Amino acid sequence: MAEFSVVTASNVNVQISSSLSSFGSEKRFDKSLTIGALKMKLELITGCPAAHMDLQVFTKENKLVTTMDNNDALLGSYPVDDGMRIHVVNKDSSIQVGDFEDVSKVEKYEMKDEDYEKKQDSVLGWKKRNKLGRFAEKSEEEKAREEEERQRKEREEEEAAKAISVGSRCEVKTANAPTKRGEVMYVGMTDFKPGWWVGVKYDEPLGKNDGSVAGKRYFECPPKYGGFVKPVFVTVGDFPEDDFGMDDDEM
For residue range 26-68, list pLDDT tens digits in order.
Answer: 999 999 999 999 999 999 988 889 998 999 999 999 999 999 9
3-class secondary-structure state, position 13: strand
CA 41 to chain centre: 35
The pLDDT score that the predictor gives to residue 202 is 97
For the chain, the first-to-last Cα distance in angstroms comes to: 125
The pLDDT score that the predictor gives to residue 246 is 46
User: Which alpha helices (DSSP H) does the chain contain, by range?
Assistant: 35-46, 113-118, 123-130, 140-162
The Cα–Cα gap between 48 and 82 comes to: 23
pTM of the prediction? 0.45
Q: At 178, which amino acid appears? A: P
Confidence of residue 97 (pLDDT cuts 50, 70, 90): low
The Cα–Cα gap between 66 and 121 comes to: 49
3-class secondary-structure state, position 126: helix
Q: At 154, which amino acid appears? A: E
For residue range 175-207, list pLDDT tens digits in order.
Answer: 888 999 999 999 999 999 999 999 999 999 999
For residue range 203-220, list pLDDT tens digits in order.
Answer: 999 999 999 999 999 999
How many other C-beta atoms lie within 10 A of the C-beta of residue 42?
A: 21
Res. 103: pLDDT tops 60: no
All domains in the chain, ordered by first residue: 11-90 (3.10.20.90), 163-236 (2.30.30.190)
How many other C-beta atoms lie within 10 A of the C-beta of residue 18?
A: 22
